[in-house]
Every structure is written in C-alpha cells, then in structure tokens.
Amino acid sequence: MSFLSFSEQKKSRNFIKKGFLIEVIEKKKSLNYIDKLIQKSIKKILKNKQKINLNLLHKHVEISKLNNFRLRLINMINSDKYFKKHYFNLAKNSLFELVGNELMMQKNINLSIQFPNDNSSLLPIHSDVWSGDSPYEINLWVPLVNCYKTKSMYILDPKYNSNFIKNKNKFKNSVQIYNFLKKNLKWLTIKKGQTLIFNQCLPHGNVVNLEKHTRVSMNCRFKGIFSPYGDKKIGEFFVPITTRAMTEIANNFKSPF
C-alpha cells in the first residue's frame, strides 16, 4: 500500500528504473544567484573584471593551477551564507518526493572543473557506497554549462547492477570494472538550467573531456535525518536543513520520571 500521489509514485518508479532523473530547475532565481556568486568569485580569484564564459574557462586558467583555482572557488562559494539554501531550492520538491521532508545536506558543496583533453580531473568508475557513503544518500548534480558526451558523466543502467555485483571479485582495478560495464553505461545529456538527481549506489564516473569546451558542475549529497549513516556523520559531513517541529520537541524532551 502506498499513500503517495500518482505523480509521486510515477517519479519514484522512474528514478528506481533509470537510476537518475533530469528535470528543469525548480527556482530560476536560485540559479541566477549561484551564477552571480560563481562569477563574482572567479573575478576575485583571477583579478579580472570581465564576465567569464565558463565554457572557455580553460583559456583563463593554466592546467597546472587548476586544482588550486578549484579549491579556492569551492571555499569562496561555500562561505556565502545563502549559497547552500539556493542550491537546495534548485530541486527542493523532487528531493522531498524521493528522499523525505526531513533532510540532511552535505556541509560543503563540491565543484568539478574538467578542461578539454585534461586527464588530471578524472573520476574513474566508482560507487560512493564503496568508500563509506550510506546507500540512503542521493546526489544532486547541477551543471553550470551544457554537458554532453565526454563533457558529461555516465551511470550504470540499474538492471545490470546485480550481474556486476555477482562478478565484482573478478576485478582488480577501475579499468577492468569500466571495461566490463562499458556497454551498459548511460551517458547523460544535461543542459544548463536542468538538474540531475542520481542514485550514487550505482557505478558512475567520467572520462577525459574530448569536447571543445570546459565542463563546470556542482554536486551535493542529501539524505533523510533518521536514515542509516555510513562513515560520514552528522556534524562532520552532514547538517540538518529541514528539521520538523515534532523532531525538535523530541530532541529536547526530558522525562519527568
């Protein structure tokens, strides 16, 4: 029995079947805020007064300085007190529908930059739960440029995951895993102005960006407050963002007996 609405059930079935959902952002003002924050931060780092076309970011930053640039940018945007709320607002309703309405959010939102033909920013095939994340977490991935082909990411079709798990002991490294799963990987096309919510239990990753433009994207994990945790705990990695009244009451309850 399910008391979810028809649209909620449909979205849930879609997500379980595909392992991901691509949707139009829910709040355009929040994306505009993030865009302006990113541009302001980049201008400060590069000491450049002109607006930077993120597709051409590789023309403004040397590869040898990319990681330092990325870390500085991550620190600057995460220090903005409204950034995380605007990020959450990009897919708030979908997160409520897929995860629940009492949520934990990753303390710091990640930002990935992948220059054309650069092999220094690769994320080999992996599943987040292999390295200590809880299977109850979901990932909200937001592109700041159009992402397609090798400029995007891939994810395993869920129907092939059980077969992979049966054979997992055969593989010695990520290259062997990728080659085994390659024909069953789904390459995602995501436009600026869309969000990707995906099941991070499924193997996913990227390859060298063979397109002409730079990929810039953000990602952040969310989970239910009361769902089981992996190695990443409350306060250390997650913070509560939508705690409800009864939970606050219960947390402060002291028995008179």
Q: d(Cα 54, Cα 216) in Å, to the nearest integer?
A: 7
Confidence band (pLDDT; 50, 70, 90) for 168?
Answer: confident
Query: For position 17, what pLDDT does the model report?
Result: 97
pLDDT in tens, 228-243: 999 998 889 999 999 9
Greatest mean pLDDT among 41-45, 49-53, 169-173: 41-45
Q: Which helix (H) or strand (E) holds 83?
A: helix 83-89
Contact present, 138 and 95 (Cβ < 8 Å): yes
Confidence band (pLDDT; 50, 70, 90) for 2?
Answer: confident
Q: d(Cα 183, Cα 130) in Å, to the nearest integer?
A: 22
Q: Which helix (H) or strand (E) holds 213?
A: none
Reading phi first (left if > 0) and then psi (alpha if -120 to 50, else beta), residue 159 is in alpha
pLDDT in tens, 100-136: 999 999 999 999 999 999 998 889 999 999 989 999 9
User: How large is the average pLDDT for residues 163-167?
Assistant: 92
147 vs 55, 110, 120, 245, CA distance in Å? 10, 17, 19, 40
Q: Which helix (H) or strand (E) holds 198?
A: strand 194-198
The structural domains of the chain, ordered by start, are: 9-245 (2.60.120.620)
Closest CA to 223 of 109, 127, 126, 139: 139
Contact present, 192 and 148 (Cβ < 8 Å): no
pLDDT at position 194 over 90: yes
Query: For position 98, what pLDDT does the model report?
Result: 97
Query: For position 110, what pLDDT does the model report?
Result: 97
